[in-house]
Chains A and B, each alone.
Chain A
Amino acid sequence: MPDARLWLLWALTTLLAATAARNPLYLFLLLLVVLLVGVTTAPAGRRRAALLPLRFAALAVPFAALFNGLTAHLGDTVLCRLPAWLPLLGGPVTLESLAYGAINGLALTVILGAFTALNQTVPVRELVRLAPRAFHEAGVVLAIALTLLPQTAQAVARIRQAQAVRGHRLRGLRDWLPIYLPLLVSGLERALALAEAMVARGYGAVSERAQPLPLRALLTMGLLGLSGGWLTWLFVPNRAGIAAGTMVAGGALLVGAMVIAGRSTRRTSYRPRRWGIRETMVVLGCGLALAAALTGHPSLAYAPYPRLSWPPFDPLVGLGLLGLLTPALVNGSGSEGR
């Protein structure tokens, strides 16, 4: 499933479900789903990294349980008492507060798992390409910046080594100067070289012309409307309706300007996004999970207070959450590298 939009939808749905659910049974189910999707869709050689959330859970769950146990003194099953003079910590430590902390840790693990799977499968550049066409130039700049980040990290390591062979030792902040200066200069040189290469390859050839006057007028009016409405809402009492209307109109003008600007940006894509049965299935799966998470079913909002009890489980909700498994089910090869 190479389409970044679908992955984004899947990750956001998982995020919503993990935020909505406090029932550990559903959270366990979500964690299993996320791990399964991560492992089956990660490129070959990165499958072990897809299990990273488990290592996170080993730390996050006990830490969250301990933190909540020491700070939230609710629940009937008192395990021990800390002296009352201890600020924040003083009071009973209950089984319920420990359990609730652990549940929060589990929810965090699910969210991390979803974004780990997203990160493993979709290159950041693909996500940047989701930006509207009007922001194409900004998207390219961001994509290059993302490429330069690992290169800069490599340059730091290289320059540190080069300075070490001159007897340089890193002891304090001032010792970073021999690393920072060559890094800055080489970074600038690299940026210039890249700019020269991009110009030589025709980058910017189709966006040289200035934006037409109506578009600029539209942008100006939109910005004026938005800021004027906001100022009215802030400083003119009893004019909230007018303020809201002005802001909506300004926003609409801005969106219109962006659509027009996007249409005037001539650009094609080497990897056009295609819609097929797999993509539809993922959307349906996410829709199912979203419906299950947002129905407000009482079993979702489980709370261990005042006394810890076995959480309820509704098979229909569970089945709905299993909709998030669709990326794993429709995944073709899963071996494509990033």
Chain B
Amino acid sequence: MIRLERLTFTYAGASAPALQDVTLEIPAGAFVLLAGPSGAGKSTLLRCLNGLVPHFSGGTLRGRISVFGHDPAGEGPLALSRVVGFVFQNPEAQFVLDRVEDEVAFALENLAVPPAEMRARVTEALDLAGLTPLRDRLLETLSGGEKQRVAIAAALALRPRVLALDEPTSQLDPQSAEEVLEALVRLNRELGLTVVLAEHRLERVLPYATQMVYLPAPAAPLLSGPPRQVLPHVPDVPPVVALGRTLGWDPLPLTVAESRIAYRVSLIAYRVSPVACRRLQRADRRRGRGLGERRSTLRNRRHVTRNTQHVTRNTQHATRNTRHATRNTQHATRDTRLTLRGLCFRYDQTPVLRDVSLEVAAGELVVLMGRNGAGKTTLLKCIVGLLRPQAGMIALDGEPLVGRETADICRCVGYLPQLPDDLLFADTVAEELAVTLHNHGLLDRPPIAPDELLARLGLAELASAYPRDLSVGQRQRVALGAVTVTAPSLLLLDEPTRGMDYAAKAELLRLLRSWQAEGTGVLLVTHDVELAAQAADRVVLIEEGRVCADGTPAQVLTSSPGFAPQISQLFPGRGWLSVEDVLRGWETACR
């Protein structure tokens, strides 16, 4: 049992506490999802469990913590390392050695565990994390998911009673994230290990969580309980939960499978429950529709639900056709910003890109998806000239780019790499923009006034702040400002939402939309299927360096099981990707 009583923690030099008056109980064997916006104190809370806070971080801690009878604040992280295994966000940042087995054994060697017992424990930990076939491999040869499972195995070798994980899947593609979560569920169910996991993408963890702890803001009172009790009070929830909340499904579904059942039940319930109709009405009102306009629709819904199977099938065709027609028209009328033809790239003798062809039109947002190592980042690097393709053509607004210098290309192409911190070095946010302008010789005649751009990025008040002191989302926007201050006609973004909370993602999306409206083409690389479903005009799926699907989100995401958003899994074959699509689809059917 983990018990926190009136826990308050303030970092050294901070004006306000990061955690205030936190009281929480976690029973042994629980699978706890720790959620909340960035900066709400999730990582701090996790680090309180093994004594890293306050022993490693410094700061002032008040209140009591008990972790299976141990006092982390009193005993410190070294003593607690045998009780709480800790897994960090970036597995590579925590590796000491270079081989799977050695890395798992490292902590045991330091604790002077006898060799025979050590071998048994390493074998057990590798087995539990599903890594036995990889035990001799070098860490650098593993995929992201495998590396994170090595980090989990390294923590398990100490036979802890609690496993605390700080956003362990934030840098992984959906399949790798699933591998990691499956390993955790196995440990939780088979060994009774208590798992406490902080995560932004709730849809990944909700299916497994037995308890949810939501931290709404720094120092704000937390919510704790079974997910179904907590979720109604959480502002940003996964699509199936949002749909369930909108339609008043009770019990609230947490997974696609539960939503399917809830949906079937609701088909019957609509016939008998006026409450459901009232909820639909409220949902419509929230979306800004007039009540009078809706009344007839709501009346008709009873009829519609009786014939759902038939009607939705028609709806699906109608929706898909409408989307197609709209997008094709837009595509035909827009100028092509980026053209790639037959692009090939090899690292040494290993082909990474094979005959890649795609286009991005002006004002179009194309999402590029694929597993880790599929060649997405390589493709972006080839476009901006950081890598020289061995074959193929790249053109921006009809002008060939191959052979031009990166600095020259990036005056017209904004490229945001995966780690925005690599871009930032100036003393203030405003200076970051000035540095880019200076590099391009545009300091005297900036294409966009830097102040205007900062205001647009929501950074006007932070113009004199030190960039590295800002939050993940804010740093990402500073980096975005640094690469877009030249007013590029094409934007390339490499996983810009890693580690971002829902609010930061929404803010980024708003910005992208405004650039799109001005004719900027956007090529966005992401693993976030819900973001792709929400933002993309077109989705390109890349696998082992080849484009294996290119089409509308409805076409591509619904036909690729690994990349299907929750709504399309719930309503397969209908072309719906978001809650809005569902409501709109039903509305069309009602007409």
Contact = CB atoms under 8 A, between A and B. Distances in A.
Interface string A166-178: 1111000000011
A337 B138 contact: yes
B423 A166 contact: yes
A182 B111 contact: no
B96 A198 contact: yes
Given A166-B439, A181-B425, A185-B468, A267 B386 contact: no
A167 to B, nearest CB: 3
A205 B425 CA distance: 37
B81 A201 contact: yes
B419 interface: yes
Interface in B404-453: 405-407, 410-411, 415, 417, 419, 421-425, 435-436, 439-440
B79 A205 contact: yes
B528 interface: no
Contact of A201 (B106, B424, B483): B106
A161 B421 contact: no
A123 B102 CA distance: 13
A165 B384 contact: yes
A27 B356 CA distance: 54
A272 B119 CA distance: 11
Contact of B93 (A181, A197, A205, A270): A197
B154 A158 contact: no
Contacts of A337: 136, 138
Contacts of A201: 81, 86, 94, 106-107, 110, 154-155, 158
B77 interface: yes
A150 to B, nearest CB: 9
Contact of A165 (B79, B113, B417): B417
Given A166-B483, A200-B77, A200-B81, A267 B440 contact: no
Nearest to B441: A167
Interface of B: 50, 52, 55-56, 77-79, 81-82, 84, 86, 88, 90, 93-98, 101-102, 105-115, 118-119, 122, 136, 138, 154-155, 158, 381, 384, 386, 405-407, 410-411, 415, 417, 419, 421-425, 435-436, 439-440, 468, 482-483, 486
B371 to A, nearest CB: 21
Nearest to A189: B421
B425 A182 contact: yes
Contact of A193 (B50, B94, B114): B94
Contacts, number: 160
A271 B154 CA distance: 16
Given A200-B86, A202-B107, A164 B407 contact: yes
A166 B436 contact: yes
A147 interface: yes
A186 interface: yes
B421 A266 contact: no
Given A202-B82, A266-B112, A167 B105 contact: no
Given A161-B422, A206-B110, A268-B113, 5 more contacts: A147-B95, A165-B423, A168-B407, A197-B86, A268-B108
Contact of B436 (A123, A167, A185, A268): A167
B388 to A, nearest CB: 13
Contacts of A158: 417, 419, 422
A202 B96 CA distance: 13
A206 to B, nearest CB: 5
> Which of A161, A165, A185, A270 has most B Cβ within 10 Å?
A165
Contacts of A182: 421-425
A338 interface: yes
Given A199-B52, A202-B110, A268-B109, A167 B158 contact: no
A166 B435 contact: yes
